C-alpha cells in the first residue's frame, strides 16, 4: 500500500504554512553534548507559535481547504497543543473554532486556547468519548474536523519541523521525535529519509504510553491505556495513516521512564535555559540517557512543545 | 571629566570577543506586548555562553591583555555569573583562574564555575571582605584581577549586548537594562546613545538594592545594604567609572518589587518558554508593570542571565 505522504507533500506544506508558523531556532549545548556523548541539535518547537509544533499541521490542513468550505467553522478534539493550533489557524482564516478538551487538560493550555477565540467544550476523559462529542458538534454545525494526527495534511505539516532542522544542520546521523499518534514522527521521518537515506530515524515514547513501541514489535496497531505525565503523548493507539509510515521509515521506538522525562525537563531548563513540556522532553531523555546506538555522532531532536503549568513544573 | 568609555570602545569589544561570546537571539512575544502595552525586544543573554552577559566583559578584558602578562593567572570576586565568565575566558587563553565567591552563592553558579576549571575560594558575605581576600591572592600569586564592573574594558564588553540588539532591531524608543554595579548599563547606554541620541535609556533596579536609584537622585554615589532575590544585583554601590556614564546618559532608574521580579520570571518562563534569573527579570518586570513612560512604543530589554537553582525556581 502506498504511504499517505511523500517528501514533496512536506515541501509543499513548508510553503503553505509560512504565514502562520515560525521558523524556530536550532540550539546546541556543549554541556548537554558531553552528558549525552553525541552532538545534539535541538529543534525548538517550544518556541513555536502556540508553544508547540502543532500549528504546522493545523495550518497546513486549514490553509489547504477552500475558504468557502469552512463556513461552518472548524472542530478539533485535543488535550491541548493541537487545540490551540487549530484555534490560531481558524482565527487566521476568519472562521469560528470549537475545541473538545478533556476537563483535566492543563489549565495553561485551556486558557491559551480560549485566548485564541475558540469555544471550548469539555468532556470526562474516563467516561465520555471525545470522538462522539466531536461528531455531534460536526453534525449540528456543519463544521470541518481538524484531526490531531491521522490526516496526510497534518502529517506533512508536522514534517516541516524536520525539514527546517535538516536544512540548517545538514546531514545528521540520526533524528528523533516524540510519538503520540504519530503525526510528527511520520512527517519528520518522511522528509529526513528523502533528504538523506542514511539518517537513522527514531521515535521516543514514554514507557507508560508505549502503544507505538508495541505496535512496531507486533507489526500491527496495538492499543494501550496511557499513563504518563507527557500529556501530549496520551493517544492510545498509532494512527491508521501514520503507523505504516513509521513502520516503514523508523528504525525503532525508544522508551523512557517518567523519572527520565522529569530529569530531562530539568536538565534542559537549567542548562539550555528553555522550558520544554514533558512530551517535548521525551526524545531529549532518550538521548540524555544513552538510549540511542553509541556510534551515532550527531542527532537532531525535535523538542515538540513548551506548554506546562507552573505548578506542575514546581512539583518536579 | 571625560567618561571612561566611548562608543568606539564598544565596537572594538564586539570584534575582540567574537571567538568567545555568542550572538544571542532577540525574541518577541505578542502576548507580552499586549500585557506591557508596548512592543518589546528581548535580548536573550540568558542564552549566552555561561548563561549570562558577563562573558562579554570578561572576554574583552582578558583578550585585551598581553598573554605574557597573564602568567600568574586571573582572579575575580563574584556572586556567580562574572565568576563563570572569568573562568571561561581564562581557560580560553590557557591561564589558571581563582574565583572568590560568597559561600551562599547559588549552587548552580558555583558548580558551573568549577566545571570551567576554576579554583574557588569562598567567604562569608556578612563578615569577610571579598576585596581583601582577592587582594591577598593577588599578592601571593602575581595574578591579574578581573573586576566585575568598574573597568573600561568590562564596561565596553558588556555594551556589545546592546550593540547586537540595536543592530538587529534598528532604532528603538527606549532601552532598559538591569543595574548592579553598572557595567552592563553604562556600556549599553554608551552605544545606544551613540547609535541614536533619541533612544531613551533606563536602568532597572530592585527596590531592595536601590543604590544607583538613590545615587542618581543625590547626584553622588550612595551605598546601601542590598536585600533582594536578584543575587546578581547585590552590589552595594555604583562604580566610580560606571556611575558618571549612567548619570550622563540614563534618563532614570526604575524600581521594581520582589513580587514583581518573581512574577516576571514566571511570565517569561510560561509565555516565552525561556528561563531568566531574578536579576535578568528586573528590567522585564519594569516593562511588564508599566513603569516606563506610556508614550514609549518600542523597547529593547537586556535579559541579563538565566542561572537559577531549580529549588529557588520551585519556591517562586
Give dist(CA B50, CA B112) in Å, integer: 8
C-alpha B143, offset from chain centre:
24
Task: Give contacts of B314 with chain A, Cβ < 8 Å.
Answer: 313-314, 316
pLDDT of res. B129: 84
What is the least distance, in Å, from the CA of A309 to any CA of chain B?
8
pLDDT digits (tens, 9 = 90+) for A228-244: 999 899 989 999 999 99
In 3D space, the residue among A314, A313, A257, A251 whose CA is nearest the CA of residue A286 turns out to be A257
What CATH number has the domain spanning A55-145? 3.40.50.1100
Task: Give contacts of A274 with chain B, Cβ < 8 Å.
Answer: 47, 273-275
Burial of residue B315 (CB within 10 Å: 0-12, 13-18, 19+) is exposed
| Closest residue, chain B, to A45 (C-alpha) | B273
| 3-state class (DSSP) for residue A41 | strand
According to DSSP, the residues that pair with A301 across neighbouring strands are A42, A176
In degrees rounded to 5, what are phi and psi of residue B142? 55, 35
Task: Give contacts of B270 with chain A, Cβ < 8 Å.
Answer: 108, 275, 308, 310
Per DSSP, the residues of B223-243 read ------S-GGG--SS--TTHH
Pick the CATH number of A7-53+151-315 from 3.40.190.10, 3.40.1690.10, 3.40.50.300, 3.40.50.1100: 3.40.50.1100
| Interface of chain A toward chain B, CB-CB under 8 angstroms | 25, 27, 31, 46-47, 51, 108, 115, 266, 269-270, 272-276, 306, 308, 310, 313-314, 316
Task: Give contacts of A272 with chain B, Cβ < 8 Å.
Answer: 47
Within 8 A by CB and 6+ apart from A263, the residues are: A285, A288, A289
For chain B, helix (H) and strand (E) counts, in that order, are 13, 10
Name residue, grid cell 537559577. Answer: B308
pLDDT digits (tens, 9 = 90+) for A172-230: 999 999 999 999 999 999 999 999 999 999 999 999 999 999 999 999 999 999 999 99
Q: Do B270 and A275 touch (CB under 8 A)?
A: yes
| Closest residue, chain A, to B26 (C-alpha) | A25
CB atoms within 10 A of CB B26: 18
Give dist(CA A101, CA A80) in Å, integer: 7
Compute the residue count for chain B: 316
| Closest residue, chain B, to A52 (C-alpha) | B273
Of A108, A275, A310, the CB nearest to B274: A275
Of B25, B266, B274, the CB nearest to A310: B266
In 3D space, the residue among B53, B56, B55 whose CA is nearest the CA of residue B43 turns out to be B53
Burial of residue B19 (CB within 10 Å: 0-12, 13-18, 19+) is exposed
Q: Do A269 and B51 touch (CB under 8 A)?
A: no
Residue A315, pLDDT > 80, answer: yes
In angstroms, what CA-CA distances link A119 with A60, A68, A220, B11, B311? 21, 21, 37, 52, 37
Q: Do A108 and B270 touch (CB under 8 A)?
A: yes
Q: How far apart are the first and last CA of chain B?
A: 44
What is the least distance, in Å, from the CA of A282 to any CA of chain B?
17
Residue A87, pLDDT > 80, answer: yes
pLDDT of res. B139: 86
Dig out the grid coordinates for A9 from the structure: 507533500
| Closest residue, chain A, to B316 (C-alpha) | A314
Give dist(CA B57, CA B183) in Å, integer: 8
Radius of gyration of chain B (CA): 18
Q: Do B273 and A274 touch (CB under 8 A)?
A: yes
Instruction: Write the ipTM.
Output: 0.87
Residue ranges, comma separated, of all CATH 3.40.50.1100 domains in chain A are 7-53+151-315, 55-145
Of A25, A270, A310, the CB nearest to B25: A25
CB atoms within 10 A of CB B128: 14
pLDDT digits (tens, 9 = 90+) for A270-312: 999 999 999 999 999 999 999 999 999 999 999 999 998 888 8
Looking at mean pLDDT, say which of A119-133, B100-114, B243-257 comes out highest. B243-257
pLDDT of res. B157: 98
- Its sign, for the CA torsion A89, A22, B286, B112, is positive
Amino acid at each position: 500500500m502506498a504511504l499517505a505522504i511523500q517528501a514533496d507533500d512536506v515541501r509543499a506544506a513548508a510553503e503553505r504554512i509560512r504565514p502562520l508558523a515560525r521558523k524556530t531556532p536550532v540550539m546546541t549545548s556543549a554541556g548537554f553534548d558531553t552528558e549525552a556523548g553525541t552532538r545534539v541539535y535541538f529543534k525548538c518547537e517550544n518556541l513555536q507559535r502556540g508553544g508547540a509544533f502543532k500549528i504546522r499541521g493545523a495550518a497546513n490542513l486549514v490553509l489547504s481547504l477552500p475558504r468557502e468550505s469552512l463556513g461552518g467553522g472548524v472542530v478539533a478534539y485535543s488535550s491541548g497543543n493541537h487545540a490551540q493550533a487549530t484555534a490560531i489557524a481558524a482565527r487566521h482564516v476568519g472562521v469560528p473554532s470549537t475545541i473538545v478538551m478533556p476537563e483535566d487538560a492543563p489549565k495553561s493550555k485551556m486558557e491559551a486556547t480560549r485566548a485564541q477565540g475558540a469555544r471550548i467544550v469539555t468532556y470526562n476523559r474516563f467516561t465520555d468519548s471525545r470522538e462522539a462529542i466531536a461528531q455531534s458538534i460536526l453534525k449540528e454545525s456543519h463544521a470541518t474536523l481538524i484531526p490531531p494526527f491521522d490526516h496526510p495534511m497534518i502529517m506533512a505539516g508536522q514534517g516541516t519541523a524536520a525539514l527546517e532542522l535538516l536544512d540548517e544542520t545538514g546531514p545528521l546521523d540520526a533524528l528523533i521525535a516524540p510519538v503520540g499518534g504519530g503525526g510528527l514522527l511520520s512527517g519528520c521521518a518522511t522528509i529526513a529519509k528523502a533528504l538523506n537515506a542514511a539518517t537513522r530515524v527514531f521515535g521516543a515514547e514514554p514507557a507508560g504510553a508505549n502503544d507505538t513501541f508495541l505496535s512496531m514489535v507486533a507489526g500491527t496497531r496495538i492499543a494501550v491505556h496511557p499513563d504518563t505525565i507527557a500529556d501530549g503523548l496520551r493517544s492510545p493507539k498509532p494512527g491508521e495513516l501514520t503507523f505504516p509510515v513509521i513502520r516503514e521509515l523508523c528504525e525503532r521506538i525508544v522508551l523512557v521512564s517518567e523519572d527520565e522525562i522529569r530529569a530531562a525537563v530539568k536538565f534542559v531548563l537549567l542548562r539550555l535555559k528553555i522550558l520544554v513540556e514533558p512530551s517535548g522532553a521525551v526524545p531529549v531523555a532518550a538521548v540524555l540517557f544513552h538510549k540511542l546506538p553509541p556510534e551515532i555522532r550527531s542527532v537532531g531532536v525535535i523538542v515538540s512543545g513548551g506548554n506546562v503549568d507552573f505548578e506542575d513544573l514546581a512539583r518536579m
